[in-house]
Amino acid sequence: MRRPAFRLLQALLWFASLSHVIIGGGSMLSPETQRAVAGLYGAEVEWTPQFVYILRPLGAFMFVFGLLLAAAALDPWKHRLIVYGLCGVLLLRTAQRVLLQQDIQDAFHISPGRDLAMAGFFLAEAVAILVLLHRAGKPTPDGATRGVPSSAG
C-alpha cells in the first residue's frame, strides 16, 4: 500500500502538471487566456503584438513540461529527474522574484507583497515536493514503498 507521503507527492505533481498544461496550452493558443493569467498574477501588461507572440513559445514550453510532469506524477521515483527539474524551476523562479523584485515591479506593476507571496508559494512547493519524494521512498516490486536506499549499499 502506498504511503500518505507518496499520495501527497502525486497530488502536488498532478497540480503542477495540470497548471502547466492549462496555462501553457491556453497561452500558446489564446490571447484571452494570456490576459486572464496576467490578471491572476496581478500584472499590468502592454498587450503589443510582440508581447502576445512571445508568450506563445513560453506556453509551448509550459505545456510540454506539464506533460512531462504527468509522467512524474504517475511514477515519481522512476521519473525523479523530472521531479528535480520541477523543483529547480521553482527555486529559480523564487530567486528571480526575490532578486529581480524591482524589475518585476517596474515592468508589470506587481506589488512587492504579491510578488513575495508568489515566491513563498514556489519555495514551499519545491521544498514540499523534495521532502515528500524522500519520505515516499522507492517502490518495491509489490507496489509498497521502502525507505530511500543509502549510497553505501
pLDDT of residue 35: 97
pTM confidence score = 0.85
**Mean per-residue pLDDT for 59-88?**
97
Residue 128 has pLDDT above 80, yes or no: yes
pLDDT of residue 150: 40
**Mean per-residue pLDDT for 55-81?**
97
Instruction: For residue 110, give the C-alpha cell.
Output: 506587481
Say if residues 126 and 87 touch (Cβ distance below 8 Å).
yes
Residue the block writes with cell 524591482: 102
- What 3-state class would DSSP assign to 101? helix
**Mean per-residue pLDDT for 105-117?**
95
pLDDT in tens, 1-52: 568 999 999 999 999 999 999 999 999 999 999 999 999 999 999 999 999 9
Say if residues 119 and 94 touch (Cβ distance below 8 Å).
yes
**Mean per-residue pLDDT for 69-83?**
97
Angle between helices 49-74 and 31-41 (to 10 degrees): 80
Q: Domain coordinates of the chain in residue numbers?
A: 4-134
Residue 152 has pLDDT above 60, yes or no: no
Give the separation between CA 17 and CA 69, rounded to whole angstroms. Answer: 5
Angle at 44 between CA 43 and CA 48, to 5 degrees: 120
